[in-house]
Amino acid sequence: MKYQSVIVESREAFQKDDIESILKDKLNISEPILNTNIFMIEKPEDKASIGIGDVSNVVEWAYRKDTDLKLIEIKNADLLTDQAQNAMLKLIEEPPENVLVLLITPNSSSILQTIRSRCILITTTAANFNTSELAKKFIEAGYLERTKIIDKMLSEDTNRASVAEFIEELLRLNLNKKNTDSISEIKEVYRAVKRGVNLKLCLDYLNILI
């Protein structure tokens, strides 16, 4: 299988579990590579950016002859200088079949267009999506504020499972307050989310119900 380079846009701290989730759920990669065949690039503590010298060994490592899957993880890829990005362009454009390049950044637009056009873009929410606090805020907010919350959830590519958990929490909070006026309608929205109905339509209707 030939792997294409990937940009992961995340505005939160990225942990090992988040990478495992990306590999398994979004890229269908199940091989255990995080503890063995990984080349990690980070900004040196004494520098403000990641330069050519910091990526100089990665190309040689990537093209080393073997068959094991290799992962090149670049944290804060937005800090790569233009020269460093250009030095990696060929590897990102045509990675060996057993090499996956993962560029993690809070802002994908900071990556050179020549790099972005050759990568899959995955936008992800933080692993610590706080369903309880968000549901409470949603109930207490007015219509326009709830619209902003919905827009933020969608812009951060909140996944369907998280939206379902969010609606479950809304139901729980409403039942605790003995507010049963819209319970049946909210349950219908929940079922629609689980069936695969467009998330924006579901959340917009939920906004009207609340």
Cβ–Cβ under 8 Å, residues 9 and 107: yes
One-letter amino acid at 209 equals L
Q: What confidence score (pLDDT) does residue 185 get?
A: 92
Domain boundaries, given as residue ranges, for the chain: 6-123, 131-209
Dihedral of the CA atoms 177, 202, 7, 102 (nearest 10)? 60
Higher pLDDT, 138 or 35: 138
Q: Which residues contact 172 (CB under 8 A, 6 or more apart)?
A: none
Asked if pLDDT for residue 41 goes beyond 80, the answer is yes
pTM above threshold 0.85: no
| pLDDT tens per residue, range 7-19 | 988 766 666 777 7
| pLDDT tens per residue, range 89-133 | 989 988 888 888 999 998 888 899 999 998 988 876 544 456 778
Please state which CATH class domain 6-123 belongs to: alpha beta
Q: What confidence score (pLDDT) does residue 156 get?
A: 67
| pLDDT tens per residue, range 153-183 | 887 667 787 888 899 999 988 777 666 678 8
